[in-house]
Amino acid sequence: MPDMNFILKRAVSEIISEDELQKLLASGQKLRLKEGFDPSSTDIHLGHMVGLRKLRQFQDLGHQVVLIVGDWTARIGDPTGASVTRPMLTAEQVKANAETYMQQFFKIVDKSKTEVRWQSEWFGNFTLADVIKLASRFTIAQMLAREDFKKRFESNRPITITEFLYPLLQAYDSVMVRSDVEFGGNDQKFNLLVGRELQAMIGQAPQQVFLTPILTGTDGTKKMSKSLGNYIGVAETPADIFGKVMSIGDDLIIQYFDLLTDVTEEELRHFERDMLSGRTNPMLLKKRIALEIVSQLYSASDAGGAELAFERVHQRRELPAEVPECQVSFRSMRAGDCTQIDLPCLLVVAGLAGSKSEAKRLIEQGGVSVEGEKVTGEKVTLRSGCVIKAGKRKFTRVVDTDILGAS
């Protein structure tokens, strides 16, 4: 188990107040550690994993995690980092997302040491009087102190009243669960401080604020985000997680080690020196990161298997040990009166692309091959049983059902 200095310093942006938190920890009190998630989508990615790993470390010390499922705030949408008003979700969308979200959450955090609370427990009976009473405790000036609100206000972009309510509702969660420490990414600082302030207003001990760094996405520039497509999901297969980690730029290696693994500070500095001097091949370090992450989310055996699969497909240019089969009528895939196959349509049917436009982009970018030969056009001649590869990690063996039916 990591020591306390490691827990309070590694993968930590800021603690408010660290002195107060140190005193709470020294008291022997079992702390209530709050983290809220808005199920506005179905996936948790490695960016979320940074904070979840921290929660797990505190759980292992005997503290209680309180997971807030934001079934009300998700309908508003947290505007943090957004330049426009976000669309509101329905209760049905939120519930469906939450079911998947919870399964992924407990791949990292110990379920037996987690108290799950839904905002609807208290907001379901909220009256207009309650909303007005809560809103009256804060001013517009306080809300505009938040950077994203300030920028939108100054550039005359719309801000809805519901968005002003978002940090207040999140703060009220802290009151209802009597949070001792709230965890969040450093872009959540404003919201977490509002919770600390509201608790003090009503006579509770103000929560400590524990902020973690933002993980850079696989594109190497922006924060990891599903909407940006630069994310690695914790529920993806071991092979996909391994492959995506291997695709990160060399300049992200130390950050990923720092935020997502428990390798020692000494090892980190050693890795950094060896990369700068050219004594270590960055690919070897990325394999180490990928093995560490897959082992955390699955098992060491799964990590080893993912490594072998990566070496087979990407280093030796061989086919995966198992290639999924897609049975489809070649006749139905013909491009109009042509005897050739409409490749974008086939890629969508085979699950290798989410849409025809995505399939066409893959082909234009040289990301599609048939039997190892790159395809440049949208019409192709195929034989039953051939293997199609789309992107770096998707394969399928297409079988013509017209032939199957005739045999």
Of 7, 14, 16, 18, nearest in space to 195 by CA: 16
> Within 37-160, where are the H helices?
46-60, 73-76, 91-105, 120-123, 128-135, 140-143, 147-154
Backbone angles phi, psi at 192, to 5 degrees: -70, -35
Show the CA angle centred on residue 22, arms to residues 194 and 112, nearest 5°: 80
Sheet with 394-400, strands from edge to edge, namely 325-328, 394-400, 387-390, 368-370, 373-374
Of 59, 57, 75, nearest in space to 7 by CA: 57
Backbone angles phi, psi at 291, to 5 degrees: -60, -40
Name the region of 181 (left: φ>0; alpha: ψ -120 to 50; beta: rest).
beta
Of 322, 338, 335, 340, nearest in space to 387 by CA: 322
DSSP β-bridge partners for residue 276: none
Strand, helix or coil for residue 204: coil
Q: Would the annotation count 9 as a binding residue?
A: no
Q: What tokens were used for 254?
A: 């130390």
Q: Which residues are annotated as a binding site for ATP?
A: 226
Binding residues: 226
